[in-house]
Chain A
Amino acid sequence: MNDILPWLYDSLIALTLLWIAWQTLSTRDLFKAVLLFIVFGLLMALAWVRLQAPDLALAEAAIGAGLTGALLLDAVGHLRVPRRPGPRK
C-alpha cells in the first residue's frame, strides 16, 4: 500500500499535466486557454515538489504561474479591445 500511494500521486499529476496542456491548446476561448495555462504552471510546481526540487517549485509558482499569468492576462485584455483589421501587406 505504501508503495502504491506515491505512484498513484505521480500518475495523477502527470495525467493532469497532460490533460491541462491539451485543453490549453485546444480550447477555443483565449481567456480560458490562459487560465488553464496558469493552472498548468501550478501543477508544474507540484511536479517539482515530487521531484524533490523545492527551489524550482518556488520559482515556478512565483514566475510560471504568477508573473506569466499576469503578462498573459494583460495581453488577452489588450486583444479584446476591438480593432479594425487593416489590409494585410
Chain B
Amino acid sequence: MNKFTLHTGIAAPLDRANIDTDMIIPKQFLKSIKRSGFGKNLFDELRYLDEGQPDQECTGRPLNEDFVLNKARYQGASVLLARENFGCGSSREHAPWALEDFGIRSVIAPSFAEIFYNNCFKNGLLPIVLSDAQVDQLFIEVEASEGYQLTINLEKQVVVTPSGEEIAFDIDGFRKHCLLNGLDDIGLTLQHADEIKAYEAKRKAEAPWLFGAIQ
C-alpha cells in the first residue's frame, strides 16, 4: 500500500451531495479481475457524454465540459473537495481504486458513507472529514482562485490552505499509523494469531456446528 505522509496538490470542487459509488465507478467497469486501470472510468457518466463500455479506449470520447475534472484549471487535481455522504451505496472497492488510479490522494467532505470511508484507508487514500463551515470555506476559496492547492500533513493532522491557514482534522490512531507507514492490515493482524486461535478454540467448544459444517 502507498504511504501517505505529506501531500500538496490542486484541489477540485465537486459540488454535489450524496455522490454514490455508481457515480464514482459505474457497474460495467467492475468486471475486471485486477485492481488497476479504473482511473479512466472514474465518474464515467458525469465525465463523458456517451455511455462508456468496458475495455474501451477513452481518449476521443466526448467530454462533458461542465464536469469539474474536465475543466482546464483543475487538470492534475489530486485533492477532491466534496459534499455530505460522499461514497454512499455499494461496498465496491473499485471506487477508491478508481480515485487512486486517477491520481486523487485525498477527499475532503463533511461526511462519508462508512464502507467507502473504510475502503479508502486500505488503498492509501485519505478521506478527511471537516465541518460544513470549513468545507464551505474551502469551496469558496478554490472557486475564487485558479491553481488553488491544498497541503495535507497527516503527521500533524492539518489541511493547509495557500494562505497558510491550518485546519485540523481527526483521524483514528491505528489508521493514521498504517497510512503513514504504508502498513498492510493483514500482517498486523497476524501478529495476534495466537489470540485468534485461542478465541477460535473457545468458539468451537460453544458452537461446534459452525465448524466443518460447510465443506
A binds B: no
Binding site for A on B (CB under 8 A): none
